[in-house]
Chain A
Amino acid sequence: MSTHTLSEAASRAIVAAAGVPVSAYTTVTDADAAVAAAADIGYPMVAKLCGDAIAHKSERGLVRLGIGSDDELRRSVDELLALARPEDGEVDVLVSTMVAGKRELIAGLVRDPQFGMAVMLGVGGILAEAIADVAFRLVPITRIDALELLDDLDSQSLLGEFRGEPAVDRGAVAATLVALSDLAESDPNVVSVDLNPLIIADGRPIAVDALVETTQGAPS
């Protein structure tokens, strides 16, 4: 079965429609449109080159963080568009608000060969894989399952009040996990989802990146 990954914009649209909170964003094809969007989204902002064939933006330097002004935004958008390669196909630039939060979780869906679709929650950030503090539940999950999944993480102290930030709103994280489960149930083409990172801002989770892998429309 062949699968393919969707662009960040398409991925965000899918998870947001399922009920996952995502940072305010839009896609633009030039700097003027980006500046116009900034009036709604507000600075500081993030800009990323976006396309179905671009899965690993950071590795290619296709992300601009902490954009604080119209000038900076114009420059960033122009630079990113100039970095597009022919094999990237159709591309645009995703501009979004830059969410402030000291804590990052990772959440997602994975299709296990034994148990089928499963919801994952873990501690995110650059050490996520090394720490491997993750836990799973099988789709579908209830709100109770989701709260228990959150309880499974070893790093519970990270979920309390943290360096001036309020405690994590466990109900809001649970709702996000249930939304992922609902997505897996309603769309059997979804093979995997990454919400990485899921930043905790003012105690609430908000996805600032999304990657959906699907069997639908995959090149055969």
Chain B
Amino acid sequence: MARDLSPLFNPKGVVVAGASSHPGKFGFVSIHNILRCGYEGPVVGLAREAGELLGIPVLASPDDLEPDTYDLVFVCTPPTLNEDLITRCAAKGIKAVFMGAGGYGEAGPDGLVAQERLVALCDELDLILVGPNGQGVVSPPASLCAQIVAPYPPQGHIGIASQSGNFVSSFENYASQTGVGVSRAVSAGNAAQLDVVDYLEWFAEDPETKVGLAYVEGIVDGRHFFDRISEVAKRLPVVILKGGATANGQRAAASHTGALASDDAIFDGMARQAGLVRAHSVHEAFETAATLASQPLPTGDRVAVVTTVGGWGVVAADALYRSSMDLAPLPDDLRAALDEKLPPRWSRNNPIDLAGGETRETIPEVLELVAAHDEVDAVLFLGFGVQSNQADLMRSGEFYPDHGLERIVDFHERQDARYAEAAVEISQRHDKPVLVCSEMAVTCPDLSGPAAVRASGRLLYPSADRAVAALDLARRLTRFRQART
């Protein structure tokens, strides 16, 4: 049974201890970020002197807090003050402590003693304790950005729990870039009371979260970790990124959090046995989580590749060959149906190379025929964005808007938007993944094509290889689950 973390992720009010008027201090930045990102509940600061900051009241003592008004206290004060602070906050109905302050377990033996006392106190007072030495908690459904760093992602369904605050920032930035949003995000810091799995356990019960995304380094009790995360993985897809996979990494990790990293091959076997989705890079972890959060899951291995021109399809076929999935043999009836829609020069095979023969309706019609077929489990659509790319060159040049350019630019941009919408609609209707790929996701994300995919809440995959990598990991998860039903 997961611990109820609602007071942390859906607090009715937030207190920031150590409020500061210096815009470089955590006690300012955290208040600024909470207010700047639109948190609607009451926010109050605590400082040595009462006053006002960014329009909110600052109180001189926790004793002055309105009772039962605040669930969360965000602590930026040093360890010597915090036990008294927490005790008095708890008396006012506070249920969760985010310990942003350092100087605990990561700071040597004395800090570790202080940390143990902190945990004992929070346990006694039945308080949730996050950190110490964490970076913040983000919860877009509650419009909450209680962080000492900036990235505030759009709302979505990825729940992030990380042993390193930096990776929370990375994933949040990817969410902002791609438009595939976040439900909750938290850095576990020293994980004195709650570890990454505690957060995942709650995510599995959280209706806002469809996939967990976790970064771990050292694991203190591997068997316990395995037993708990296996249970989570039955209910929530969990993408895991592990630091310290190599000998060098292990040394770095040991100096980073004071926990020892375990042997990578055993970890890998453990992860597979637990039904975790293990990614090997930050972008792969995010893109896989984004796939699991926004696409129907692939139920089989047969992938159809639809491409507007040849080369992209060839490389995608290569990537599929290296994956655990297959290029679907093109069914005869599907070939015949496509013959009706396409000029004779089309590839007549998978990859389905349209050979530049598309007219206004071709791409949505082809995607529909392909995705609808029983012998296709997933679709890759390559060559997306060509039209908005051309539109951009026309719109930004000296000949625009004359010579019919205004009209064609408008047409091109509408077409790419239609393709993005069609991919989502067709995918949902047939309950199959349809992954749209274009390097324009990175090279020119603001053009209408990439923007339309972003607006749909799905990932525009920056290459076919990366789409295949994410799809392959998603397929490993469904294969694992199918073997056990």
- Chains A and B form a bound pair: yes
Q: Is the CB of A112 within 8 A of B268?
A: no
- A113 with B265, Cβ < 8 A, contacts A144-B484, A148-B483 known: no
Select the stretch in A45-53, A99-107, A133-141 that faces chain B.
Answer: A133-141
Q: Is the CB of A138 within 8 A of B270?
A: yes
Answer yes or no: B226 CB below 8 A from chain A CBs. yes
A38 to B169, CA, bound (A): 70
Please name the residue on chain B nearest to A147 by beta carbon: B483
Candidates B263, B268, B483; contact of A114 at CB < 8 Å: B263
Q: Is the CB of B262 within 8 A of A115?
A: yes
Could you count the A-B residue pairs with CB atoms below 8 Å apart for me: how many are there?
A: 53
Please name the residue on chain A nearest to B218 by beta carbon: A114
Question: Considering the complex, which residues of chain A in the window 116-164 have a beta carbon less than 8 Å from any beta carbon of chain B?
Answer: 116, 118, 134-138, 141, 144-145, 147-149, 152
State the Cβ distance, A143 to closest chain B Cβ, in Å.
Answer: 10
State the Cβ distance, B325 to closest chain A Cβ, in Å.
Answer: 14
Candidates B269, B480, B484; contact of A135 at CB < 8 Å: B269
Enumerate chain A residues within 8 angstroms of B47, measured Cβ to Cβ: none
Answer yes or no: B429 CB below 8 A from chain A CBs. no
Q: Is the CB of A113 within 8 A of B262?
A: yes
Please name the residue on chain B nearest to A134 by beta carbon: B265
Q: Is the CB of B269 within 8 A of A138?
A: yes
Q: Is the CB of A138 within 8 A of B223?
A: yes
- Total number of A residues with any Cβ neighbor in B under 8 Å: 18
Please name the residue on chain A nearest to B219 by beta carbon: A114
Enumerate chain A residues within 8 angstroms of B219, measured Cβ to Cβ: 114
- A115 with B265, Cβ < 8 A, contacts A138-B223, A138-B226 known: no
State the Cβ distance, B263 to closest chain A Cβ, in Å.
Answer: 7
Answer yes or no: B336 CB below 8 A from chain A CBs. no
Enumerate chain A residues within 8 angstroms of B265, measured Cβ to Cβ: 134-136
Enumerate chain A residues within 8 angstroms of B428, measured Cβ to Cβ: none
Answer yes or no: B272 CB below 8 A from chain A CBs. yes
A165 to B265, CA, bound (A): 30
- A145 with B262, Cβ < 8 A, contacts A116-B222, A138-B226 known: no
Answer yes or no: B21 CB below 8 A from chain A CBs. no
A114 to B221, CA, bound (A): 6
Enumerate chain B residues within 8 angstroms of A118, measured Cβ to Cβ: 266, 269
Question: Considering the complex, which residues of chain B in the window 232-276 have a beta carbon less than 8 Å from any beta carbon of chain A?
Answer: 260, 262-263, 265-270, 272-273
Q: Is the CB of B483 within 8 A of A144?
A: yes
Q: Is the CB of B222 within 8 A of A112?
A: yes
A118 to B483, CA, bound (A): 21
A8 to B148, CA, bound (A): 61
State the Cβ distance, B71 to closest chain A Cβ, in Å.
Answer: 36
Q: Is the CB of B483 within 8 A of A115?
A: no
Please name the residue on chain A nearest to B484 by beta carbon: A144
Q: Is the CB of B484 within 8 A of A115?
A: no
Q: Is the CB of A112 within 8 A of B273?
A: no
Q: Is the CB of B484 within 8 A of A149?
A: no
Q: A150-188 vs B: 1/0 string, CB under 8 Å?
A: 001000000000000000000000000000000000000
Enumerate chain A residues within 8 angstroms of B272, measured Cβ to Cβ: 137, 148, 152
State the Cβ distance, A151 to closest chain B Cβ, in Å.
Answer: 9
State the Cβ distance, B60 to closest chain A Cβ, in Å.
Answer: 48
Q: Is the CB of B268 within 8 A of A115?
A: no
Enumerate chain A residues within 8 angstroms of B484, measured Cβ to Cβ: 144
A136 to B272, CA, bound (A): 9
Please name the residue on chain A nearest to B483 by beta carbon: A144
A145 to B273, CA, bound (A): 7
Q: B447-485 vs A: 1/0 string, CB under 8 Å?
A: 000000000000000000000000000000000100110
8 interchain residue pairs of minimum CB distance: A136-B269, A114-B222, A114-B262, A115-B222, A112-B266, A137-B273, A137-B269, A136-B266
A residues near B, CB below 8 A?
A: 112-116, 118, 134-138, 141, 144-145, 147-149, 152
Not counting A115-B262, A141-B273, a sample of 5 additional A-B residue pairs whose C-beta atoms are within 8 angstroms of each other reads A116-B222, A135-B269, A136-B270, A138-B223, A144-B483
Q: List 16 A-B contacts (CB under 8 A).
A: A112-B262, A114-B219, A115-B222, A115-B270, A116-B223, A135-B265, A135-B268, A136-B270, A138-B223, A138-B226, A138-B266, A138-B269, A138-B270, A141-B273, A144-B484, A148-B480
